[in-house]
Amino acid sequence: MTDAPSTIAERSADMLARATPTTIAVRVRGLSDRAIAWLFITPTIALLLAINIFPLIWAVYLSFTNFRANRPNAEVEGVGLRNYQRVLNDPDIWIAMQTTAHFVFWTILLQMIIGFALAYLIDRKFRGHAFWTTVILIPMMLSPAVVGNFWRFLYQPQIGLFNYIVSFFTGIPPSSFEMLGSVTLAPWAIIIVDTWMWAPYVMLICLAGLRSIPDYIYEAAEVDRASAWRQFWSITVPMALPFIMLAVLFRGIENFKMFDMVMLLTGGGPGSTTEVASITLKREAFESWLTGRSSAFAIILFVAVFGLANIYVKALNKVKQR
């Protein structure tokens, strides 16, 4: 460190140091500001390394070996890229990826439509809108374990409320279909629950977007004779778009790794119709105990999500800068 502080951060640290009461100044004498800064952030960095970075690097290492966690004493051999080759050539894994894509697409579409519609209605600022906002947010605040078990009861063919309501409106006998047991219905059962739980989250983000649009823009448009329809498409949507895109990003990343809800509701069944990537991964890792191979799979998933998210964030920034 030189004597003349150069950056603003250093300069303000310098000012702070000078303003520090003498007792503390004496106690830390001999330490530069830079050293004190490091002292403060070291615990965080250490924790991050221990619980995030190290396991990641360890998984990368394991993905190149034939290590099996249920045989810790067996000799570990390097296998090069064979794990990756196997994963990418495994048809079951590609089916799981397809199932995941299907889930991600439909949950995002439904959550965006419902979430945005709710936000648009709540933003009308009618009487008691704050109360309704809270009510709508309740599903999102529940634990996924509670939600999963709760919906298992709702979907129960004989006593479940869901089947009863469907039969009430359509006349189809309630015990004639099983939401969680049918090959065609089970994926939709999960999509419905995920949408019920997370549409409020999308609503919250969209609401922030809608609230950021100043009233006078709408007033100007009204004086300019723009219809409500035109105001919606030429003001509301473009100005809320960065927020909507942000919601898509958050929900997309979350649902790409969707595990808890599927595990609780169907466990991947019936057959493997709802077996998303994370369920396959769990099976490979903790049922087949193919630790090396499942590590390779995990790395592939990570790179895929990371890559997609990056491309998406670039697009988001472009929209924001307009």
How many residues contact other proteins, by CB under 8 A? 18
Dist. CA 225–CA 232, nearest whole Å: 13
Residue 315 near other proteins by CB under 8 A: no
What is the token pair recorded at 65? 């070996």
Given CA atoms 224, 225, 229, 230 in this order, what sign does their dihedral have? negative
What are the backbone dihedrals phi and psi of residue 4, each rounded to the nearest 5 degrees, phi first?
-90, 105
Q: Does residue 322 touch other proteins according to CB under 8 A?
A: yes
CA atoms within 13 A on the CB side of 158: 0
User: 207: burial class by Cβ within 10 Å (0-12, 13-18, 19+)?
Assistant: buried
CA distances, 116 to each of 103, 194, 209 (Å): 19, 16, 10
Using the minimum distance from each CB to other proteins, give the nearer residue, 187 or 242: 242
Residue 216 as a binder of other proteins (CB under 8 A): the answer is yes
Q: Is 225 in the site for other proteins (CB under 8 A)?
A: yes
Residues 91-130 that bind other proteins (CB under 8 A): none
Q: Does 217 bind other proteins (CB under 8 A)?
A: yes
Query: DSSP labels for 295-315?
Result: HHHHHHHHHHHHHHHHHHHHH
Give yes or no for residue 210 binding other proteins (CB under 8 A): no
Q: Which of 239, 253, 305, 316 binds other proteins (CB under 8 A)?
A: 239
Angle at 249 between CA 238 and CA 93, to 5 degrees: 140
Rounded CA separation 207/133 (Å): 10
Measured from the CB atom, the residue of 69 and 217 that comes closer to other proteins is 217
Binding residue for other proteins, selected from 39, 220, 304, 311, defined by CB under 8 A: 220
Q: Please pick, from the candidates 224, 271, 287, 314, the single residue that binds other proteins as defined by CB under 8 A.
A: 224
Which segment (97-105, 233-241, 292-300, 307-315) binds other proteins by CB under 8 A?
233-241
**Amino acid identity of 117?**
A
Q: If binding is defined by CB under 8 A, does position 146 make contact with other proteins? A: no
Q: Is residue 235 a contact point for other proteins (CB under 8 A)?
A: yes
Residue 222, interface with other proteins (CB under 8 A)?
Answer: yes
Contact 152, 264 (CB under 8 A): yes
- CB of 240: closest distance to other proteins in angstroms? 11
Stretches 103-111, 123-131, 209-217, 295-303: which one binds other proteins (CB under 8 A)? 209-217
Residue 219 within binding range of other proteins, rule CB under 8 A: yes
State yes or no: residue 234 binds other proteins (CB under 8 A).
Answer: yes
Residue 226: CB minimum distance to other proteins, A: 6
The answer to whether 66 and 292 are in contact (CB under 8 A) is: yes
By the rule CB under 8 A, 317 interacts with other proteins: no
Q: Is 226 in the site for other proteins (CB under 8 A)?
A: yes
Select 145 or 217, whichever has its Cβ closest to other proteins: 217
Say how far residue 249 (Cα) sits from the centre of its chain.
8
Least Å distance, CB 248 to other proteins, is 18
Q: Looking up tokens 């190149």, which residue turns up?
A: 64
Judge contact between 10 and 18, C-beta under 8 A. no
d(CA 31, CA 6): 19
The only residue of 143, 227, 288, 317 in contact with other proteins, by rule CB under 8 A: 227
Binding region for other proteins (CB under 8 A) out of 5-13, 192-200, 220-228, 245-253: 220-228
Both tokens assigned to 251? 């929900």
Query: Which residues bind to other proteins, rule: CB under 8 A?
Result: 214, 216-217, 219-227, 230, 234-235, 238-239, 322
